Amino acid sequence: MLQTIEAKEAVNEQRKRIHPHKFTLWVALGSIIMMFAGLTSAYVVKRDQPGWTTFPIPRAFWYSTAVILVSSLTVQMSLKAFKDREMMRYRNLLTFTGVLGIVFVLLQWAGFRQIWASGVTLRGSGGGQFLYIIAGLHAVHVLGGIVALLIMVVRAFAVRTRSYNSVPVELISTYWHFVDLLWIYLFIFFMFIN
Amino acid sequence: MSNEATVHGHPEVATTHDAQHDEHGEHHHHQSFITKYVFSMDHKMICKQFLITGIIWAIIGGLMSVLFRLQLGYPDAHFKFLEDILGSKWAKGGQIQPEFYYALVTMHGTILVFFVLTGGLSGTFANFLIPLQIGARDMASPMLNMLSYWFFFGASCVMFSSLFVETGPASGGWTSYPPLSALGDASEGSKTGMDLWIVAMALFVVSSLLGGLNYISTVLNMRTKGMSMTRLPLTIWALFFTAVLGVLSFPVLLSGFILLLFDRHGGTSFYLSDIFLASTGKALPNEGGSAILYQHLFWFLGHPEVYIIILPAMGLVSEVMSVNSRKPIFGYMAMVGSLFAIAILAFLVWAHHMFVTGLNPFLGSVFVLLTLLIAVPSAIKVFNWITTLWRGNIRFTPAMLFAIGFVSTFISGGLTGIFLGNSTLDIQLHDTYFVIAHFHIVMGVSGILGMFAGIYHWFPKMYGRYMNNTLAYIHFWVTLAGAYLIFWPMHYEGLAGMPRRYLDYSNWISFNQFGDLNRFISTVAMITFAVQLLFVFNFFYSIFKGRRVMTRNPWGATTLEWTAPIRPGHGNWPGEIPEVHRWPYDYAKDGRDFIPQTEPLGANESAH
């Protein structure tokens, strides 16, 4: 507790344009982008080598894409609700976003199972194997977001301390939009490069 | 009660305490041993944690090099005591066994590159200097900073534990190239040891990322009033670029490791293709994989990694050199520009590690050009260091000696880089002792000399005491002479074509002429290692018994950390954070020895 107060004070007294935690998040997003850039370039390089195999895009991925798009909308609306001090609405929208996140991960899982059922297992080194890893890592990042959302939801429902500091909500919404965009990129990548 | 409130409440109390070097200083809120020394969020304590962990690793890694040098220098000798210590599996009859030899060189590389010169060097000085030199109370996120250390600690524990598994630690080289690293049946070290290696490295990457994120956002967002980017000391610039390199390249390494992990345990073949394993007499089903893919992913980190090691050393040396020459650093903007150029080029040269992998020769020539381009910013830096020394009023403190030693090794190691950067010369030199000599001098020795310069220079600020100078001078001269005597002869061995990674050359007609030379190198290596223990003694002895620092600014430096109390509490400055009015290199100006950054501009001065 002490440290957080100190950190906040340290932040407050600094001359600042952007909140350091937000800035840190942006740098972290850059770092995550590098990870997926590395993997997708490996995919591109590998694709031109002999023995490449492809995989069918499962129907579940279309649904999951729709779900994560909607969740981006809800997280944005919850941020707006928070800023308007509509706490009830904020809590509900945040919870809903978390539920959509879980649905997204489940749909990804269903998509993996569909691909698996079509005969693409971990054996080999084609598109399917890359997909399991790349989309799997993306799902891990979404799960990280869900954990953060859960913490926020628990905090929002614990009415003891009412905080109107919007930075945490902004952080989670930025991150959530990011994993959304990242999935859109990956989905388009898999569709067109496959 | 927050530290800040306390400090504002009793500024005069704080000052008195400070003058008495009170352990607690202005630090009134209650901290248990656990929150102060273990799970501390104070950047200064985290710095010390990184430093001491790094020193422990350096001793372990250094000792490993002594062991394998023992083998290389005396391949026929039987050292009974080795069998007593290491057991008959690794040192049968007192001779180091091949598997153990590979494990030693692998772990020596991993430990020194990642745990000492990345975690130990960046972790120590970024944590210590960034808040203190930019005028911040702490990092942007002290919590992430603490996590960064504890991930490093976790990585260290896993890596250390891998030394004790039955099949030994990873032994496929510090680069862990597949297929060797991907197939458990390929060698002893590719079994459990390799898994632990990957887990430890994944934890290490997380630690580096958490640290790096924090360093970047602290430098960009938490500077005190008046501290514009062009008023930052070069240490901060260097640490900043280091953090950028780490944040952009470590995730790619992690991707490579994840694919490797799946090849090991998931049955995928990202890196594996058409393999017949002699050890089991079986052909593997894996098809279509590319071992070269791993090398691309690895070296996309691996090359920036060498700059992650050398840039902090460059920054520390620039600062130490300017302070102890009593002169402004020559060409401040050129120094920043060349750091920037190196940081950019770092990402564009990775394939020069892969010239002999069957890389397209045209592509190779592009990488040759880009690699040789690095000579330009490097030469600018060397020129500026030498011109900073030129006609300076030099104080040969131990830190200064190490800084000058750094410039020396950076030049001699850098020149051989020009040889190796040529894809044609590399056909002869690849995987020879020439490469070993090159990267040890330019990265290993230079990095560690820069780190020593930093430790000797900032030790008074870290612990409020001085290190012993006599021991420091002995440490410096033996280390510098030793480093050259160890690595200089290796150039000749390498030019003659002597390959690395062999444990015994005595039956090899082409290279057994170097038997005496190898013995010489091994002897010097042992002496040099012993002298490092002198440093370790000096370091720990001085923490408790060193001469006390009695003035705030013992070196007469301009930067902000020397305006803080001798033993700063959490929050660094009692009262207001100092405001900055000038750049950090106003030495020997207007008839004055130095002008601190906090001093407002005089009537006849223009802003700078």
Closest alpha carbon to B200 in B261, B252, B269, B139: B261
Tokens at residue B36, please? Answer: 């102060």
B131, B218 in Cβ contact below 8 A? yes
B450, B317 in Cβ contact below 8 A? yes
| Spatial distance between the Cα atoms of A133 and A148, rounded to a whole number of angstroms | 23
Q: Angle of helix B375-389 relative to helix B332-345, nearest 10 degrees?
A: 150
Enumerate the residues of chain A whose CB falls inside 8 A of the CB of residue B134. none
Chain B (135-154) residues lying within 8 Å, Cβ to Cβ, of chain A: 136-138, 140-144
- Which whole number is the average pLDDT over B253-266? 94
At a CB cut-off of 8 Å and minimum separation 6, what does B590 contact? B602, B604, B605
What pLDDT score does B32 carry?
80
Measured from the Cβ of residue B396, the count of other Cβ atoms closer than 10 Å reads 11
Domain ranges of chain A: 2-193
If phi > 0 it is left, if psi is from -120 to 50 it is alpha, else beta; for residue B168 that is left
Give per-residue pLDDT as tens, B371-390.
999 999 999 999 999 999 99
pLDDT classification of A124: cutoffs 50, 70, 90:
confident
Amino acid at A191: M
B145, B127 in Cβ contact below 8 A? yes
> How many Cα atoms occupy the beta-carbon half-sphere of B412 within 13 Å?
20
Which of B2, B258, B262 lies at the smallest CB-CB distance from A9?
A: B2
Judged on CB neighbours under 10 Å (0-12, 13-18, 19+), B83 is: middle
- State chain B's mean pLDDT as an integer: 91
| Spatial distance between the Cα atoms of B318 and B46, rounded to a whole number of angstroms | 24
Closest alpha carbon to B479 in B414, B543, B404: B404
Asked if A31's CB is within 8 angstroms of B213's CB, the reply is yes
Percent of chain B having pLDDT more than 90?
A: 84
B159, B115 in Cβ contact below 8 A? yes
Measured from the Cβ of residue B550, the count of other Cβ atoms closer than 10 Å reads 11
- The H-assigned helical ranges of B271-420 are 291-325, 332-345, 361-373, 375-389, 398-420
Distances (CA, A) of B86 to A75, B97, B100, B164, B187: 59, 11, 10, 10, 19
Amino acid at A105: V
> How many Cα atoms occupy the beta-carbon half-sphere of A34 within 13 Å?
23
Domain ranges of chain B: 43-594
Asked if B141's CB is within 8 angstroms of A20's CB, the reply is yes
| Spatial distance between the Cα atoms of B62 and B58, rounded to a whole number of angstroms | 6
Instruction: Tell me the residue ranges of DSSP E strands in B132-204.
Output: none
Measured from the Cβ of residue B280, the count of other Cβ atoms closer than 10 Å reads 11
| Between residues B67 and A165, the one the model is more confident about | B67
The dihedral formed by the CA atoms of B260, B253, B379 and B230, expressed in degrees to the nearest 10: 180
| B43-594 CATH fold | Cytochrome C Oxidase; Chain A (1.20.210)
Which among A4, A8, A26, A27 is the top mutation candidate for probing chain B, defined by the most B β-carbons within 10 Å of its own β-carbon? A27
If phi > 0 it is left, if psi is from -120 to 50 it is alpha, else beta; for residue B360 that is beta
Residue of A nearest to B3 (CA): A6
Give per-residue pLDDT as tens, A16-64.
568 888 999 999 999 999 999 999 999 998 888 887 888 989 999 999 9
Is residue B547 predicted with pLDDT exceeding 90?
Answer: yes
What pLDDT score does B447 carry?
97
B346, B303 in Cβ contact below 8 A? yes
Whether A151 has its CB under 8 Å from any CB of chain B: the answer is: no
| Between residues A54 and B408, the one the model is more confident about | B408
Whether B132 has its CB under 8 Å from any CB of chain A: the answer is: no
Question: Of the given ranges (B75-79, B207-211, B471-475, B489-493), which has the lowest mean pLDDT?
Answer: B75-79
| Spatial distance between the Cα atoms of A5 and B10, rounded to a whole number of angstroms | 19
| Spatial distance between the Cα atoms of B314 and B307, rounded to a whole number of angstroms | 10
The 3-class secondary structure across B438-464, one letter per residue, is: HHHHHHHHHHHHHHHHHHHHHHHHHHC
The secondary element (H helix, E strand) that includes residue B170 is none
Which of B2, B247, B290 lies at the smallest CB-CB distance from A27?
A: B247
A25: closest CA of chain B, how far (Å)? 8
Maximum Cα–Cα distance for chain B, whole Å? 84
At a CB cut-off of 8 Å and minimum separation 6, what does B4 contact? A6, A9, A13, B137, B571
CATH number for region A2-193? 1.20.120.80
Chain B (13-32) residues lying within 8 Å, Cβ to Cβ, of chain A: 29
Tokens at residue B75, please? Answer: 């391949």
pLDDT classification of A160: cutoffs 50, 70, 90:
low
Whether B206 has its CB under 8 Å from any CB of chain A: the answer is: no
Is residue B590 predicted with pLDDT exceeding 50?
Answer: yes
Q: Is the ipTM, as predicted for this complex, more than 0.95?
A: no
Distances (CA, A) of B192 to B8, B103, B162, B171, B197: 56, 13, 8, 11, 9
Tokens at residue B304, please? Answer: 């920036």
Give per-residue pLDDT as tens, B279-296.
888 899 888 888 999 999
Asked if B268's CB is within 8 angstroms of A122's CB, the reply is yes
Enumerate the residues of chain A whose CB falls inside 8 A of the CB of residue B254. 35
- Which whole number is the average pLDDT over B242-263? 95
